[in-house]
A = this chain, B = another copy of it.
Amino acid sequence: MKNIYLIGVGLIGGSFAIDIKKHFSDTIMYGISRKETTLDEALSLNLIDKKATIADLQNADLVIISIPVDATVKLLPTILDNIADHTLVIDAGSTKEAICKVVENHPKRRNFLACHPIAGTENSGPSAAIPNLYVGKTNIICEVEKTTFKLQEKALQLFTAIGMRIRYMDPVAHDKHIAYVSHLSHISSFMLGKTVLEKEKNERDIFDMAGSGFASTVRLAKSSPAMWTPIFKQNKENVIETLEEYIHNLQHFKELMQQENFDEIYNEMENTNYIKQILNGIK
């Protein structure tokens, strides 16, 4: 896989570039982006070696798409139209159903592997790219059976080389579960940030009182709206369901407070403490 084309050169694409170059030194990394300034930044950070366009994709051994999920749904068919027979195309979107759906009947469907690497930070853009982002992280692959076996193998070699674990999943199940373990966290964090900002807007220095617990809980509220709005849009039904359950649980906690039922509040927390064991498994 000599010629790799990154469509999107931000945190996700850029971090792939850094680790792939480390393990495959003969790689030539090409960057494609809507914005010329983003490509210039990626060049200056040595994430990419050359600028390119969609029309150049015939030359690609591998195409990595890491742009907002609405842009992926729009662009993926055109990307497949432009590749060669031996080209592998992977994406990195946080939703999988719409992306799999849009290419289900494409003549080059077997060149595409739908992926969701569970990795990232709250930062975005080329300057957010970091080495070893994917080490020990899970890559969820959907509809693996729809990709040519040879290209599956290629992809697995690459993911293994950069230290990823692989899980296979159905796109509908992926979108449902990821709403709980990722999308809801982002909303809870954004709304927590909003609640505190609204209250404290006239008393900015109150934030001196905030400690590492607050920082950890609202960290995701720094995430990119351009990336997250399309995710919520594509996963609307599942996200609304998680929100309803979350609001219900908060409401119940509030009622226990109003009833001064602190024994039950203790139990609520103790039952959830069990999450320790689960979190120990997450890097």
Chain A residues packing against B (C-beta within 8 Å):
118-122, 137-138, 140, 165, 167, 174, 177-178, 180-182, 184-200, 203-204, 206-223, 225-226, 228-230, 232-233, 236, 239-240, 242-247, 249-251, 253-254, 257-258, 260, 262, 265-276, 278-279, 281-283
Contact = CB atoms under 8 A, between A and B. Distances in A.
Given A178-B209, A230-B262, 8 more contacts: A118-B210, A189-B217, A199-B242, A210-B278, A217-B217, A218-B275, A236-B257, A247-B247
B211 A119 contact: yes
Copies in the complex: 2
A223 B118 CA distance: 25
Contacts of A215: 279, 282-283
B196 A180 contact: yes
A249 B181 contact: no
A222 B140 contact: no
B209 A122 contact: no
A271 B239 CA distance: 21
A138 B209 contact: yes
19 contacts: A119-B211, A119-B212, A120-B211, A138-B208, A177-B200, A181-B196, A184-B192, A185-B192, A185-B214, A190-B253, A190-B268, A190-B269, A192-B246, A199-B242, A213-B219, A218-B275, A218-B279, A232-B265, A247-B247
A245 B198 contact: yes
A279 to B, nearest CB: 5
Secondary structure of the A side of the interface?
helix
A272 B197 contact: yes
A172 to B, nearest CB: 14
A225 B279 CA distance: 18
A283 to B, nearest CB: 6
B194 A229 contact: no
Nearest to A185: B217
Tell me which of A189, A208, A211, A260 has the highest count of chain B C-beta atoms within 10 A of its own C-beta: A211
Those 6 A-B pairs whose CB atoms lie nearest each other, nearest first: A225-B269, A181-B210, A185-B217, A118-B211, A193-B272, A193-B275
Contacts of A240: 254, 257-258
A124 to B, nearest CB: 10
